[in-house]
Amino acid sequence: MDASMGSVLVLGALLVVLVSTLLIRVLFLLVWKPFTVTRWFRGQGVGGRGYRFFVCSMPEIRRMMAAGSEVILDAGSHDFIPIVQPQFRKWIADYGKTFLYWYGAAPSVCVADVDLVKQVLAERTGLFPKNYLNANLETLLGKGLVLVNGDDWKRHRKVVHPAFNLEKLKAMSVVMADLAERMMQKWQSHIQQAGSHQAEIELSSEFSELTSDVIAHTAFGSSYKQGKKVFSAAPALRGVLRRLLVGGLFHAPCNV
């Protein structure tokens, strides 16, 4: 009896230690570290959205995205930022061209200063690596040129560089122009079939198909029709990627 009671006490003590350790870890990641990062950036003169426990700026972003979806873009206007990313337009106005914002407990710095952007892009010392990639996304996407750093990036770049020399790009531009012309001819056919000087065309799907067709022809030597099943799966893939994004916890899937 005494032995069993002792075992229960030991297990209970271990459980308390485990729960306490996890709780301290969570508080460190979701409370202490974000506020420390915010204070450090403010000390450097970089302001921005204050950290909110776990939810960060997502409620505000959702509200602005919902409002932006109701905005109708004037014909001839290219000012689409208020529709697709209204939060950045507002935050730049509020905090300046360089500011800190949060997705969960993950800090990000937005840089809208052109000179500073050029400096970052031209930097070759490795001080500005790619963003940390969710482990689930890394498994899904692999380690390609746009996701790796350092020696891996140099090796990948050396392999793909010949495909993007000037002569290859010129040849690709001919293919792109031909595909765009085919799309215009299809539009003209729709107008003629309508029996008038106008027809309703869904530009979003048309340009999505054109983009897929360009990629298929230039990268794989096929066409959109031949790879239609693959391209039609892209929206489902984007849905999976959204579910893998995590606010503060990089290794557990959740909905954003």
Tokens of 117: 């952007």
For the chain, give every domain's residue range: 2-128, 165-225
Are the C-beta atoms of 247 and 106 separated by less than 8 Å?
yes
The span from the CA of 161 to the CA of 95, in Å, is: 39
Long-range contacts of 25-31 (CB under 8 A, 24+ apart): 29/105, 29/248, 29/249, 30/54, 30/105, 30/248
Measure the CA–CA gap between 122 and 113, rounded to whole angstroms.
Answer: 14
Nearest to 157 by CA among 132, 149, 130, 125: 149
Taking only the tens of pLDDT, the chain with its 256 residues reads 556 766 767 777 888 888 888 888 888 888 888 889 888 998 888 988 778 776 677 778 888 888 877 777 777 777 777 788 888 888 998 999 999 988 777 788 889 899 988 888 777 667 777 777 766 667 767 777 777 887 888 888 888 888 778 888 888 888 899 999 999 999 999 888 877 778 888 888 889 888 888 888 877 776 666 666 777 777 777 777 666 554 444 444 444 4
Cα separation, 123 vs 117, in Å, equals 10
Instruction: Please give the C-alpha separations between residue 38 and each of 45, 52, 139, 147, in angstroms, as whole numbers.
Output: 11, 11, 31, 27
Q: Over 153-172, what HEC string results?
A: HHHHHHHHHHHHCHHHHHHH
- Biggest distance spanned by C-alpha atoms of the chain: 94
CA distance linking residue 19 with residue 14, whole number of Å? 9
State the number of CA atoms in the 13 A half-sphere of 162 facing the CB. Answer: 3
